[in-house]
Chain A
């Protein structure tokens, strides 16, 4: 009964809608839109575009790694000069590919694509707001990102190639144009692009925080916020604090590159000639970079954790286990993110005592992470699990989060890191725990919220095939990679077959490459499913996953302002699934306790008195005043 009630409430207000909005032209509606849903889709499409490029790049350099000196002349139409006369991949371009793959995947796909899409889409819908606090800043944020994308994209076609010093752009390699061809114009464009990207992230993050704090609907207290919103909120805070530091680092690097200052450059000889730079410190850059760089890992991962919390509770038909512990662990991870950056720098010659402090702090992260993992598993425990593609990807994330986290404990040890630093063990670790886990969160989010975005369902069978192919593929790629790393195979090498011990791992490398190609191919199932379903998919029902959160009380395709008529009030937390005594196995947040006497707990019955008051007021509705 309760579910019907909410939908009729929405209908009852249809007549009152104020239709004073004039029809917007094409540019206002689709291009320079200030509507959070359109902006979210813009982020998503751009993110998917970058993901295809970024992953394709990884396949190209994987080919070289798996089959050293392989003939890639069939790629000449695409890569042109970067394929040498003999058909092999140009080593300079190999470095550029690795750099670009990292930059694209970390920043453009998993930061802008993931957080940009779902923070924009879900924050107003799940907290009950008409739109973001500032639609204009939100639009500006996307277009800064688009501009930064264009600059980075152009850099791919430079004669000297894009930046090639690794995505961490350590000086002096990145500071001296004569160091490598990629440090010429490619690096300049990289820095310009990232400056624009930082502005975009700040504009976005500021908006997310303001919206969550100021524009929640009545009754939506912080203890009733879905975990998705908690995660987006904390992610935005992380970004707000850490991105300005990256800006600092980049700014000083720009001064070093273009104005001849010596912030990072010390006494350097090139071709026997001394450079004028004196007294700089390249380690300083690493401190500044990793002060962003480490929180960035969580900026990438936390939104995925938030979304999967929501999806797992919904599809296990059980309340999330340890709601407050989930929030506390998010806060714990976010806090620790800022005090562990130097674990990326154990081998820079830092004081071993300092190293052990950072090691200690790093290992503490295992505590909140384990809380999350156990809460996921206990939520699943004895649930009536429905294996939708979104649910499968969420469970896949839990698996990856655990197996990638365990290797993090190994790497966090400053003594072990001496052996493992800059080997493929590190690559395997962070690809599983941050790359693949966040990508799984991205997929889960798309499968779950696609009906709300486009009003159509994605194909379930294709989703299942896509999940199993990706899940198996990811483990086949990254599991063997750990062994290659332990054996001492270093990162960022074009070819590492000079020594006999390295030769013995050629087979594993070959295997990894084949698995990578297989996994890449499997993503086309998703792409087809995504674009086909957008236009030809089955029409979505109002609440396809029988979920509790507010976005499912909007029309199938929400219009400008999201809710027709009044914004619904919120009376309960979002995880009332399979509540004993209730008629249905879910009770949406908009259903008051007074309507569910059969399932109320004693303290909830006591809240009924306050509900009447709550229903009457209308706080924070952006449409309350004419606009």
Chain B
């Protein structure tokens, strides 16, 4: 029983076996499930496209602009993260606000993109080529809304001074998710352009 005698642990600083924070790990697993969702959607797209009877249409230019907006929002997200690391609160708050606003702008542009598609006579109901386009953008938009909610949480936390160099969990979870959503959209966009 000697081995269990000195169990006074508070003073010691043992090395963790796994340095990953469980909450962050949960986020990564969520990302895996989202990846599987979109992987199945895009492979369904390919399977269906291979069968022929496929409508080809030009992707409205506004989707390119919205992609730029989302990339910029990712940059501002990263600036927010760096600011939190350096305890630079004013930059942190501004950068989070900018990210949030750009997220909203992106959603609005996606919606405008849908309108342009309708003008081109590409409808949700009709040839699956168009339907898939709407479904992809819709699903990504839905996930982006959850990203905005996570941003909101980080935003309130930042204003309550709960995010600082010693408590980066929330902001880093938020940043990871936001960057993922950004990369996800770039993947979808390139995919949709390439496999028209």
Contact = CB atoms under 8 A, between A and B. Distances in A.
Interface of A: 5, 8-9, 133-134, 137, 202, 205-207, 209-211, 213-216, 218, 240-245, 247-249, 251-252, 255, 259-263, 278-281, 284, 287-288, 291, 566, 569, 592, 594-595, 611-612, 614-620, 624
11 contacts: A206-B29, A240-B36, A241-B36, A248-B41, A248-B44, A279-B128, A287-B44, A566-B4, A614-B3, A616-B12, A618-B14
B22 A240 contact: no
Given A284-B48, A594-B3, A259 B125 contact: yes
B128 A261 contact: yes
Contact of A280 (B1, B30, B128): B128
A2 to B, nearest CB: 10
B35 to A, nearest CB: 8
Contacts of B30: 202, 206
B135 A255 contact: yes
Contacts of B17: 216, 218, 619-620
Given A202-B33, A278-B127, A616-B7, A134 B23 contact: yes
Nearest to A565: B7
B58 interface: no
B36 A244 contact: yes
B29 A210 contact: yes
A616 B12 CA distance: 9
Contacts of A214: 18, 20, 22, 25
Contact of B126 (A240, A242, A245, A262): A262
B25 to A, nearest CB: 5
Given A215-B22, A259-B125, A617-B9, A281 B29 contact: no
B9 A288 contact: no
- Interface majority SS on A: helix, strand, loop or mixed? helix
B40 A262 contact: no
Closest 4 CB pairs of A and B: A615-B3, A244-B36, A244-B37, A617-B14
B124 interface: yes
Given A255-B135, A618-B9, A618-B12, 20 more contacts: A133-B23, A134-B23, A134-B26, A206-B29, A211-B22, A214-B25, A240-B29, A241-B32, A245-B36, A245-B40, A252-B44, A260-B125, A261-B128, A262-B128, A280-B128, A284-B44, A566-B7, A612-B2, A620-B17, A620-B18
B3 to A, nearest CB: 3
Given A210-B25, A617-B12, A619-B16, A291 B40 contact: yes
A52 B44 CA distance: 37
Contacts of B2: 612
Contacts of A595: 1
B108 to A, nearest CB: 23
Contact of A243 (B26, B33, B41): B33
B160 interface: no
Contacts of A251: 135, 139
Contacts of A284: 44, 47-48
Contacts of B39: 245
Interface in B164-195: none
A279 to B, nearest CB: 4
Given A207-B26, A263-B48, A5 B1 contact: yes
A592 B37 contact: no
A279 B23 CA distance: 44
Contacts of B33: 202, 206, 240-241, 243-244
Contacts of B34: 244
B18 A288 contact: no
Interface in B5-61: 6-7, 9, 12, 14, 16-18, 20, 22-23, 25-26, 29-30, 32-34, 36-37, 39-41, 44, 47-48, 51, 53
Contacts of B18: 213-214, 620
Interface in B81-95: none
A251 B37 CA distance: 10
Interface of B: 1-4, 6-7, 9, 12, 14, 16-18, 20, 22-23, 25-26, 29-30, 32-34, 36-37, 39-41, 44, 47-48, 51, 53, 124-128, 131-132, 135, 139
A214 B28 CA distance: 13
A506 to B, nearest CB: 43
Contacts of A261: 124-126, 128, 131
B127 A279 contact: yes
A278 B51 CA distance: 13
A627 B168 CA distance: 19
A190 to B, nearest CB: 20
B22 to A, nearest CB: 4
A9 B1 contact: yes
A262 B135 CA distance: 12
Contact of A248 (B12, B22, B40, B125): B40
B26 A240 contact: no
A134 B47 contact: no
A600 to B, nearest CB: 15
A291 to B, nearest CB: 7
A279 B128 CA distance: 7
A8 B5 CA distance: 13
Contacts of A620: 16-18
Contact of B124 (A241, A259, A280): A259
Most buried by A among B33, B47, B48: B33
B26 A133 contact: yes
Contact of A592 (B3, B47, B131): B3
Given A240-B29, A248-B40, A617-B14, A263 B131 contact: yes
Contact of A615 (B4, B12, B22): B4
Given A206-B29, A210-B26, A263-B128, A288 B14 contact: no
Nearest to A292: B40
A137 B27 CA distance: 12
A619 B9 CA distance: 10
A248 B44 CA distance: 9
A281 B51 contact: yes
A251 B143 CA distance: 15
Most buried by B among A211, A214, A215: A214
A252 B29 CA distance: 24
Contacts of A566: 4, 7
B101 to A, nearest CB: 30
Contacts of B44: 248, 252, 263, 284, 287-288
B25 A213 contact: yes
Contacts of B25: 133, 209-210, 213-214
Contact of B26 (A137, A611, A615, A617): A137
Contacts of A8: 1
A63 B173 CA distance: 56
B114 to A, nearest CB: 14
Contacts of A618: 7, 9, 12, 14
Contacts of B125: 259-262
Nearest to B25: A210
A618 to B, nearest CB: 4
B11 to A, nearest CB: 11
Contact of B131 (A248, A255, A594, A615): A255
Contacts of A288: 40, 44
Contacts of B51: 281
A263 B125 CA distance: 10
Nearest to B5: A615
